[in-house]
Structure 1
Amino acid sequence: MNLAELDFREKMVPEQVDIVLKETQPFLGLMMECRCALMEVETKLNVLNEEFALKYNRNPFEAIKSRIKKPISIVEKLKRKGFPISVKSMEENLFDIAGIRVICSFVDDIYAIAALLVQQDDITLIEAKDYIKKPKQNGYRSLHLLLEVPVFLAEEKKSMKVEVQFRTIAMDFWASLEHKLKYKKDISDAEEIFVELQECADIISNMDLRMQEIRNRIEAQEEK
């Protein structure tokens, strides 16, 4: 048994092991395909970043982070949504197993790079959710794209889905802290904290816009 299989089994609760163990090899195959899809999209993003840097003398990305959803998280999500626990069910019902987060410097960089990415002829845009123009109720802001990208395996070409999230540095900072705070239990003033988080998100959004305006003013003077 290799380390990947051992890791897979250790993350399963006992009653789930028997259901999924028989599909360990197909599961590992799916995870491999998801990793390959991540590499395809990451490469495309890095190429755009290099070209952007050459053309505009600055890098639009601060960081690119990729992840494959953990086995226990996959099973929990399938159960929560009432889907069967199987590799086939994962492929058909979960579209965020492979995820990339792109941290950008400015809001307009998010839209510029996202547009360039989806225009590529081997990328298919399945769905776009713009939580920057229409934030979630708690103040969360990000641009989510669900993409389909071809993965060229030894004996076949397979279309895989990858979720790409674009955020500014400030949006990512807020989202990371909010994620930690929302799992705290027994909070007596939860409603008040919820309102404060919304206010912080608005402040951060205004700061993003002001920083973008400052950059535009500086670039306009450089062009003279």
Structure 2
Amino acid sequence: MVEDWKYFFRPYEQAVSEMKIKMRGLRKQFTGIGQHSPIEFVTSRVKTVDSILEKIERRQISEERLETDMQDIAGIRIMCQFVDDIYQVVDLLRSRNDMTVVEERDYITNKKASGYRSYHIVLKYPVQMINGEKNVLVEIQIRTLAMNFWATIEHSLNYKYQGEFPSQLNARLERAAEAAFKLDTEMSEIREEIQEAQHLFYGKGLNKNQSKDDK
């Protein structure tokens, strides 16, 4: 097994630190030009030793393939206001040349049986170390605030029940997940109606001004 965990974690810690700065930088670029930012806020974490060892045993991952088979040692979570924002963030990540998309899992269109929704992207990110460049895998989870609220509660309950939910609780969690998604859908529709109304309002105002100029 890994002899020096501190040394093992360094490139992952550097990767999440750099990526968090870059994602926050994207948010500032949008707000700086007065546009809606698809990124609400960003959090990060690196797995603990205990979490890695537990997953190694559960998934039967060999030490030789630890850095390739365990894709979520480094994790970034991007929170968005609207579902459409999630896919905008996905497009932004795909277009970057300082990281490479390795895998994508759309749990929004294809939700998990539990009701879990989120968009997962695994990236290969190059970290500049003193002994050269090292590519590490980073998992990015992109979700709305409502999706994150549900996932946080579900995770806490999952820890308490060790993954074995009573059937009644499982059904309630699924209903809660659907309610959260309906809220996201409703808010997206409200946003679209507001944008359409603003477009019509400003369009009419522009036409009036043009008519005055013509006179």
TM-score, with normalisation over the residues of structure 2? 0.85
Q: Does 1:81 align with 2:59?
A: yes
Q: CA deviation at 1:193?
A: 1.5
Identify the residue that residue 66 of structure 2 maps to in structure 1.
90
Superposed, 1:125-144 pairs within 5 Å as: 125-144=101-120
Q: Deviations over 1:131-172 (max 9, x none)?
A: 001100010000000001111122311111100000100000
Taking a change above 3 Å as real, the CA distance of residues 42 and 117 of structure 1, as seen in their structure-2 partners, is same
CA distance in 2, matches of 1:113, 1:185: 34
CA distance in 2, matches of 1:174, 1:157: 38
Q: CA deviation at 1:100?
A: 0.7
Contact 2:128 2:134 in 1 (8 A): yes
The letter of the residue matching 1:81 is: R
Contact 1:147 1:161 in 2 (8 A): yes
**Matching residue within 115, 120, 123 for 2:91:** 115
State the identity as a percent.
Answer: 36
Taking a change above 3 Å as real, the CA distance of residues 51 and 184 of structure 1, as seen in their structure-2 partners, is same
Q: Does 1:220 align with 2:178?
A: no
Q: Deviations over 1:79-110 (max 9, x none)?
A: 222234x4x44223211100011111111111
Q: CA deviation at 1:55?
A: 4.1
Q: Does 1:53 align with 2:38?
A: no
Contact 2:80 2:144 in 1 (8 A): yes
Taking a change above 3 Å as real, the CA distance of residues 189 and 139 of structure 1, as seen in their structure-2 partners, is closer
CA distance in 2, matches of 1:126, 1:28: 26
Q: Deviations over 1:13-40 (max 9, x none)?
A: xxxxxx55xx11xx32221100111123
Superposed, 1:75-224 pairs within 5 Å as: 75-84=53-62, 86=63, 88-185=64-161, 190-223=166-199, 224=202
Identify unmatched segments of 5+ residues in structure 1: 1-18
SS in structure 1 opposite 2:160?
coil
Contact 1:129 1:143 in 2 (8 A): yes
What value does the CA root-mean-square deviation take over the aligned residues? 2.0
The letter of the residue matching 1:74 is: I
The letter of the residue matching 1:169 is: L
Q: Deviations over 1:171-223 (max 9, x none)?
A: 0000111111223349x981122111111111111110110111122222233
Say how many residue pairs are matched: 199
Identify unmatched segments of 5+ residues in structure 2: 203-215
CA distance in 1, matches of 2:61, 2:145: 35
Q: Which has the larger radius of gyration?
A: 2
The letter of the residue matching 2:86 is: I
Q: Deviations over 1:102-141 (max 9, x none)?
A: 1111111111012111211122111000000110001000
Contact 1:146 1:163 in 2 (8 A): yes
